[in-house]
Amino acid sequence: MSKIKQLNDKNFNEEVKQGKVLVDFWAPWCGPCKMMAPVLEEVSQEVEQVTIAKVNVDENPTVAARFGVMSIPTLALLADGEEIDRIVGFVDKATLKAKL
């Protein structure tokens, strides 16, 4: 069962305001985003201290614009609602876990 949360323009602020959250800004037509999905699934099962969440940029343009997302996938690491790190493009599982 997936531990990844689906976020949108309405629930985003409430869901990321506490703790560490890795937000995957993605779209269904994006090839590298499709490659990133299984990596995020695995990491969500292995890393307890960070919540993994996804935002579809086509359906939720307000949040994507707020974070200045220009390329996808963009992975934004937030701590208590503030961005502390960002990865743009596909990364492997080991690299992602090291960042977290």
Q: What 3-state class would DSSP assign to 9?
A: coil
Active site residue 39: no
Residue located via tokens 């200045």: 68
Which residue among 4, 27, 30, 100 is the active-site one?
A: 30
Which residue among 7, 16, 23, 33 is the active-site one?
A: 33
Name residue 24's amino acid: D
Q: What 3-state class would DSSP assign to 77?
A: strand
Active site residue 33: yes
Those residues whose C-beta lies under 8 Å from the C-beta of residue 71, and which sit 6 or more positions away, are 88, 89
Which two three-digit tokens encode residue 12?
A: 């985003």
Cα-Cα-Cα-Cα dihedral sign, residues 87, 91, 95, 100: positive
- Catalytic site residues? 30, 33
